Amino acid sequence: MPRNRNAVRPVPIMNAPRSLAPGNGKAEVHYSACPHDCPSTCALAVDKLDGQTIGRVRGAEDNSYTAGVICAKVGRYAERVHHPDRLLKPLRRVGPKGSTQFKEIPWDEALKRMADGFNAAEARAGSQAVWPYYYAGTMGLVMRDGIHRLRHAKRYSGQHSTICVTLAWNGFIAGTGRLAGADPREMAEADVLVIWGTNPVSTQINVMTHATRAKKRGGKLVVVDTYRNGTAEQADMFLCVRPGTDGALACAVMHVLFRDGHADRDYLAKYTDCPADLEAHVASRTPAWASAITGLPVAEIEAFAQLVGQHRKTFLRLGYGFSRSRNGAVNMHAASCIAAVTGAWQYRGGGAFHNNGAIYHWNKSMIEGLDVLDPTVRVLDQSRIGPVLCGEADALMGGPPVHGLFIQNTNPMMVAPDLSKVHRGFARDDLFVCVHEQFLTETARMADIVLPATMFLEHDDLYQGGGHQHILLGPKIIEPPGECRSNHEVICALAKELGADHPGFAMSARELIDWTLRNSGWGTLQELADKRWLDCQPDFETAHYLKGFANKDGKFHFRPDWSRFRPHGFVETALVRDIPQLPDHWPVIEEATEEMPFRLVTAPARSYLNSSFTETPSSRKREGRPQAKIHPEDAARLGIADGQRIRLGNGRGSMVLHAEHFAGLRRGVIVVESIWPNDAFEEGRGINFLTGADAVAPVGGAAFHDNRVWVRPLN
């Protein structure tokens, strides 16, 4: 993001000293949790230099999952928290939408204008014309989820949060019945660790800590991905698949497992729903069949299957990446079935893991105001914000247009799919937008009112690890700069202005944390503060489903009930009827065509975290410029030199960037590491101009890695 030159910044803040060696006696060490949208949710040790300033951030050594390791971008967090471009005062737009012309206003006026804007929207088309829109810029339960309390108290439109996890979670739960798996620390005890559809070297570094321990014990690391990324570089076996074909690979592996006597028939009979049907079904899913779909040589599929078949302690660490396809939920389910066929679940160091969301059994009714939720209010699909703002009737679910948007913790002008619609929608004159942000992001630049937000070190919050099993406390450590306010403070102040009523609006963040812990069976705030984190790992038998899987019949389901996932108020996609009943390759991806011969994957860049850190100079420097990785043979055929400007396009739009010759992917596949701001590209159009906002089966989601595109060289 360019510096917001025109925004007024009256309170200069100092840049923190570069870094401070740990333990040199000068800094006080405070403990926290990383708030970013990352499965690692690291336990942090933060050097506090004075009341407003931090130094170095490190991983807590004594947390058994973090184990002293964090990613480089958060290690340099002083650069983000003390960034000269932080928003410090409320702003009112005085120029055209999208410009950086804003005027500072006092908080009282900002809140009044917001309330007026939302009340006007409501007067026009009812309360559902206001859409509080949020995501996981902070993962703190109070600061992330408190927006629902305002939503429910006011009967504003609901949000079905599909942009990230829906496909992956539903795909995993389809088999096990529950979003939880083997203790991820057991990865260290695996004989074969399969890292499938996640690039932890970039996206959740702590997986590699435990993977390295497995390798040191002689365990084998297998990586299944669409390109030779940082994680694949460390693998003993790398399977480079065509995007969206993991269901075929999983079926062929199961074919070999049955064929060669590696299926655990006692386990199958006791713990699974229809093993005979599965065996008959995969009999025709041979390695040759899968080779034609995945692009993998038959020998590689056979070798992978033998490795899995010969080692009971095979641990499948299943990520988000391979589920960002139109068949992603089916592929996730298919991969998870492998552990049930071999019975790997029975062994320490075996089984499968994706996310531990279910182990925390939160009572969020005070944070989210669930007691005042009206189930008749429509629930709009987050990923379809473009069609929603453009007034498409199906996206609006037959209800009124959206005239008011209140946004916290997300930057949809950059990260949402089908950006041409998103940008058109935000530009509407009859749309009132308020954005609460840390920086003047591309979304904030579309707002009528911009509010300055605190960062995690400046407010109290509660966190849970998705990729592990800890509840962590992130207490306020330093004072916020300027007039920044936390999400909770803003929600409560706005509720007051709007006359919305709920006991949660009268509580402090600390009171909400205490209430939530007590009512969820996790003790008190004081106890958590004393312990710093709680290890919530269920016992071995529970985590490995040895007392039965979490489905009603106690079995792992090879034949899932896909209709179970429909959230309240949401219409499942028409495609749900066509989902294959048993694991399979489901050919609903955007296959390449003659006109659009490439498949595009938009995998995460190491130094960014979604839209975050695109504002920090060190991350920008490390990423260089947006580039499209293309196979040298494809490039040669198209006459594209290494580093040449190219245009990528499809039916949704086109954009310009530079080519990078890269042999670590299949021909016909392009990878653009993301997410860059749109203004990092010529013409101001970024990668999400190419991605689709069609709702993916069974109940929505964004297929960010499933796009067909054409490529043209430019001079």
Ligand X SMILES: Nc1nc2c(c(=O)[nH]1)N[C@H]1C(S)=C(S)[C@@H](COP(=O)(O)OP(=O)(O)OC[C@H]3O[C@@H](n4cnc5c(=O)[nH]c(N)nc54)[C@H](O)[C@@H]3O)O[C@H]1N2
- Which of Mo ion, ligand X, ligand SF4, none has residue 401 at its interface (CB below 5 to 8 Å by kind)? none
Rounded least distance, CB 180 to ligand SF4, Å: 19
Among ligand X, ligand SF4, Mo ion, none, residue 631 binds (CB under 5-8 Å by kind):
none
- Say how many CA atoms lie within 13 Å of 334 toward its Cβ: 32
Q: Could you write out the three-class secondary structure of 70-107?
A: CCHHHHCCHHHHCCCCCCCCCEEECCCCCCCCEEECCH
Minimum CB–partner distance for residue 470 and Mo ion (Å): 19
Nearer to ligand X, 190 or 703 (CB): 703
Indicate which of ligand SF4, ligand X, Mo ion, none lies near residue 335 (CB less than 5 to 8 Å, by partner kind).
none
- C-alpha 235: how far from its chain's center? 24
Q: Residue 17 Cβ, how far from ligand X at the closest point, in Å?
A: 23
Q: How many CB atoms lie within 10 A of CB 102?
A: 25
Helix-then-strand count for the chain, H and E:
24, 25
The residue (of 415 and 711) whose beta carbon lies closer to ligand X is 415
- Binding at 562: pick from ligand X, Mo ion, ligand SF4, none (beta carbon under 5-8 Å per type): none
In the complex, least distance from residue 332 CB atom to Mo ion, rounded to whole angstroms = 15
Closest approach of ligand X to the CB of residue 452, in Å = 9
* Residue 147 binding target from ligand X, Mo ion, ligand SF4, none, CB below 5 to 8 Å by type: none
Pairing of strands 645-650, 653-661: antiparallel
Q: Tokens standing for 448?
A: 């009528």
Nearest residue (CB) to ligand X, 157 versus 610: 610
Question: Judged by CB, which is closer to ligand X: 159, or 674?
Answer: 674
Question: Binding partner of residue 41 among ligand SF4, Mo ion, ligand X, none, CB under 5 to 8 Å per kind?
Answer: ligand SF4
How near is the Cβ of 249 to ligand X at its closest, in Å? 8
Least CB distance to ligand X at residue 540 (A): 25
Nearer to ligand SF4, 71 or 493 (CB): 71
Q: How far is the CB of 201 from ligand SF4 (least distance, A)?
A: 10
Which residue, 539 or 682, is less far from ligand X as judged by CB?
682
Pairing state of beta strands 53-59 and 43-50?
Answer: antiparallel
Least spacing, CB of residue 37 vs Mo ion, in Å: 5
- Please state the three-class secondary structure of 667-698 as a single string: CCEEECCECCCHHHCHHHCCHHHCCCCCCCCC
CA distances from 68 to 44, 200, 466, 476 (A): 8, 16, 18, 21
Nearest to 249 by CA among 221, 272, 226: 226
Q: Does 38 contact Mo ion by CB under 5 A?
A: no
Choose the one of ligand X, Mo ion, ligand SF4, none that binds residue 453, judging by a C-beta under 5 to 8 angstroms depending on kind: ligand X
185 and 158 Cβ atoms separated by less than 8 Å: no
CB of 543 to ligand SF4, least distance (A): 22
Residue ranges that bind ligand SF4, judged by CB under 6 A: 34, 36, 38, 40-42, 70-71, 74, 204-205, 609
Q: In the bound complex, what is the minimum distance in angstroms from residue 63's beta carbon to ligand SF4?
A: 11
User: Which of the choices Mo ion, ligand SF4, ligand X, none does residue 290 contact, using the CB cut-off of 5 to 8 A by kind?
Assistant: none
Q: Which does 322 bind (CB under 5 to 8 A by kind): ligand X, ligand SF4, Mo ion, none?
A: ligand X
Give least dist CB 535 to ligand SF4, A. 17
The site partner of 34 among ligand SF4, Mo ion, ligand X, none (C-beta below 5 to 8 Å per kind) is ligand SF4
Q: Is the peptide bond before 367 cis (omega within 30 degrees of 0)?
A: no
Rounded Cα distance between 347 and 190, Å, is 9
Q: Which of 343/700 has CB closer to ligand X?
A: 700
Segment 138 to 177, residues that bind Mo ion, using CB under 5 A: 164
Nearer to ligand SF4, 136 or 513 (CB): 136
Residue 7 interacts with, from Mo ion, ligand X, ligand SF4, none (CB under 5-8 Å by kind): none
Cβ closer to ligand X: 309 or 480? Answer: 480
Using the minimum distance from each CB to ligand SF4, give the nearer residue, 609 or 675: 609
Beta-carbon contacts of 273 under 8 Å, excluding residues fewer than 6 positions away, are: 551, 553, 555, 556, 557, 558, 559
Q: Within a 10 A sphere around the Cβ of 613, how many other Cβ atoms?
A: 23
Q: Which is nearer to ligand SF4, 152 or 210 (CB)?
A: 210
> Tokens representing 575?
């495609």
580, 604 Cβ separation under 8 angstroms: no
Residue 221 to residue 187: CA distance in whole angstroms:
10
CB 449 within 8 A of CB 113: yes
Q: Which is nearer to Mo ion, 37 or 186 (CB)?
A: 37
74 binds, among ligand SF4, Mo ion, ligand X, none (CB under 5 to 8 A by kind): ligand SF4
Binding interface with ligand X (CB under 6 A) = 37-38, 135-138, 143, 163-164, 196-199, 202-204, 224-227, 229, 241, 243-244, 246, 319-322, 324-325, 408-411, 415, 436-439, 441, 453, 487, 601-606, 608-612, 674-675, 687-688, 691, 704-705
Rounded to the nearest angstrom, the gap between the alpha carbon of residue 364 and the centroid of all alpha carbons in its chain is 21
- Give me the least distance between CB of 320 and ligand SF4, in Å please: 13
The vertex-298 CA angle with 295 and 300, nearest 5°, equals 90
CB of 548 to ligand X, least distance (A): 28
Question: Sign of dihedral through CA atoms 62, 63, 69, 74?
Answer: negative
CB proximity list for 561: less than 8 A, separation 6 or greater: none
Minimum Å gap between C-beta 448 and ligand SF4 is 32
Q: Which does 157 bind (CB under 5 to 8 A by kind): Mo ion, ligand SF4, ligand X, none?
A: none
E-only strand ranges, 347-495: 351-353, 379-381, 404-408, 432-437, 449-452, 461-464, 470-474
The H-or-E segment that residue 28 falls in is strand 28-33
Residues 293-312, interacting with Mo ion (CB under 5 A):
none
Q: Who contacts 454 (Cβ-Cβ below 8 Å, separation ≥6)? A: 438, 480, 484, 485, 486
Query: Residue 189 binds what, of Mo ion, ligand X, ligand SF4, none (CB under 5 to 8 Å, by partner type)?
Result: none
Q: Which residues contact 630 (CB under 8 A, 6 or more apart)?
A: 598, 640, 659, 660, 661, 662, 670, 711
> Residue 692 is which amino acid?
G
199 binds, among ligand X, ligand SF4, Mo ion, none (CB under 5 to 8 A by kind): ligand X
Residue-by-residue DSSP string for 513-574: HHHHHHHTTS--HHHHHHHSEEE-PPPHHHHTTTT--SSTTSSB-SS--GGGGPPTT-PPPG
| Cα–Cα distance measured from residue 554 to residue 574, given in angstroms and rounded to the nearest whole number | 29
Neighbours of 569 (CB within 10 A): 16
Residue 38 or 484 with smaller CB distance to Mo ion = 38
The binding site for Mo ion (CB under 5 A) comprises 164
